[in-house]
């Protein structure tokens, strides 16, 4: 088995990878390091590598935060979806290594596992997990719309200016409270429209947590073949401010405070549309459009999980 470590080539990210280099010096195994050269490059690289090396057994290791993870996952799943070429069982897999100060949203779905250790990753086993297809893109963790989309947009701006992911996301929430509480977006879940009038936010989730601390979908399981949909209908500012702490702890679903305002569904297909151009964020990556079709791809991603510790 060959391992290809894919790292973010952005100048401000490179120093964070010293932790990875130090680990690789201590462990002998066949590997390469690929440094991305721009937005979407991780996806392009993985698809091209799979196309050129169809029989090779390789594990693509996404090193960094949600952007790199999404890019690698999208490349691997997108290859088999788009190219329609059968991949030999176990020949192409993916692993995750959290490097630097990035938010760790994926590990909460797999408690008791160390996603920072190369040694543990190498000792892991492959488990098929779900992924959400959004038009021609993919989402491994959470898709944000409305308020949360504005949070992600502002957080990305602040991270690019040197703020920590935690600081950026918290400040993004404060900004969205002032600018993005009323969104006229149509959301249909398995044929049922759940958005009435204005909405604050909607999360379409495969994983449980977003932004490192907001447990948007506490009931989510990444291998159950279901999408978790949570929509906040428009409400007063006071009520929203009181709901946010519950949202952070994952206690918003079924709460008295959220009665009539927090709508929760499990689904296999979701449709989102708007008369205006809107942006959605797939694992923190922006996607612009006015119509989005989302469906769960059950067990489509072969993910190498570290052993329980």
Contact 272, 187 (CB under 8 A): yes
Q: What pLDDT does residue 101 have?
A: 59
Q: Encoding tokens for residue 306?
A: 């570290």
DSSP 17: G
CB 133 within 8 A of CB 301: no
In the Cβ-directed half-sphere of 170, how many Cα atoms lie within 13 Å?
7
Note whether 256 and 196 are within 8 A (CB): no
Cα–Cα distance, 94 to 42 (Å, whole number): 12
Count the residues in the chain.
309
Rounded (5°) CA angle 241-167-178: 35
Q: Name the architecture of domain 142-298.
A: Sandwich (2.60)
Same CATH fold, 142-298 and 2-129+300-305? no
| Cα(194)–Cα(136) distance, integer angstroms | 24
Per-residue pLDDT, 151: 73
Question: Domain 2-129+300-305 adopts which CATH fold?
Answer: Rossmann fold (3.40.50)
Within 8 A by CB and 6+ apart from 144, the residues are 151, 152, 201, 202, 203, 210, 280, 281
Residues 78, 130: Cα–Cα separation, whole Å:
13
Give pLDDT, residue 33: 97
Nearest Cα residue to 3 out of 54, 63, 61, 79? 61
CA-to-CA distance for 37 and 31, rounded, in angstroms?
Answer: 19
Inter-axis angle of helices 165-179 and 237-249, nearest 10: 150
Separation between Cα atoms, residue 166 and residue 160, nearest integer Å: 13
- Residues in Cβ contact with 180 at an 8 Å cutoff, skipping those fewer than 6 apart: 146, 147, 149, 150, 200
> Are 202 and 229 spatial neighbours (Cβ–Cβ below 8 Å)?
yes
Written as tens digits, the pLDDT of the chain (309 aa) is 999 999 988 887 788 899 999 999 999 999 999 999 988 999 999 999 999 998 899 999 999 888 899 999 999 998 876 544 445 555 899 999 998 656 678 888 999 999 999 999 999 999 999 999 999 999 999 998 887 777 777 776 766 677 666 677 677 777 777 777 888 999 999 999 999 889 999 999 999 998 778 899 999 999 999 999 999 999 999 999 999 999 999 999 999 999 999 999 999 999 999 998 888 889 878 899 999 999 999 999 999 999 998
pLDDT in the model for residue 99: 83
Domain ranges of the chain: 2-129+300-305, 142-298
Whole-number Å distance between alpha carbons of 235 and 196: 12
CA pair distance 277, 183, nearest whole angstrom:
12
Under 8 Å between Cβ of 134 and 145: no
DSSP string spanning 266-293?
EESEEEEEEEEEEEEEETTEEEEEEEEE
């Amino acid at each position: 088995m060959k391992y290809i470590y894919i790292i973010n080539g952005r100048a401000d990210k490179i120093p964070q990878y010293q932790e990875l280099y130090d680990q690789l010096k201590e462990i002998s195994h066949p590997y390469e390091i690929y440094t991305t050269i721009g937005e979407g490059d991780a996806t392009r690289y993985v698809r091209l590598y799979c196309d050129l090396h169809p029989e090779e057994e390789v594990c693509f290791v996404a090193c960094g935060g949600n952007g790199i993870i999404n890019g690698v996952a999208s490349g691997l799943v997108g290859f088999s979806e788009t190219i329609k070429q059968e991949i030999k069982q176990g020949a192409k897999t993916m692993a995750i290594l959290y490097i630097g100060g990035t938010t760790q949203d994926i590990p909460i779905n797999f408690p008791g596992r160390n996603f920072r250790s190369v040694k543990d990753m190498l000792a892991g086993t492959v488990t098929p997990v779900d992924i959400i297809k959004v038009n021609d893109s993919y989402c491994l963790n959470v898709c944000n719309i409305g308020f949360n989309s504005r949070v992600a947009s502002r957080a990305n701006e602040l991270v690019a200016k040197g703020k920590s992911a935690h600081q950026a996301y918290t400040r993004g929430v404060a900004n969205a409270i002032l600018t993005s509480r009323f969104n006229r977006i149509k959301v249909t879940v398995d044929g049922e429209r759940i958005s009435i009038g204005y909405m604050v936010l909607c999360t379409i989730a495969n994983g449980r947590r977003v932004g490192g601390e907001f447990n948007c979908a506490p009931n989510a399981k990444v291998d159950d073949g279901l999408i978790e949909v949570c929509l906040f209908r428009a409400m007063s500012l006071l009520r929203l401010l009181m709901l946010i702490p519950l949202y952070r702890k994952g206690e918003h679903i079924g709460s008295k405070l959220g009665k009539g305002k927090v709508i929760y569904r499990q689904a296999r297909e979701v449709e989102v549309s708007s008369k205006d151009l809107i942006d959605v964020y797939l694992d923190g990556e922006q996607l612009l459009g006015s119509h989005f079709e989302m469906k769960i791809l059950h067990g489509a991603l072969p993910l190498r999980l570290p052993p329980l510790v």
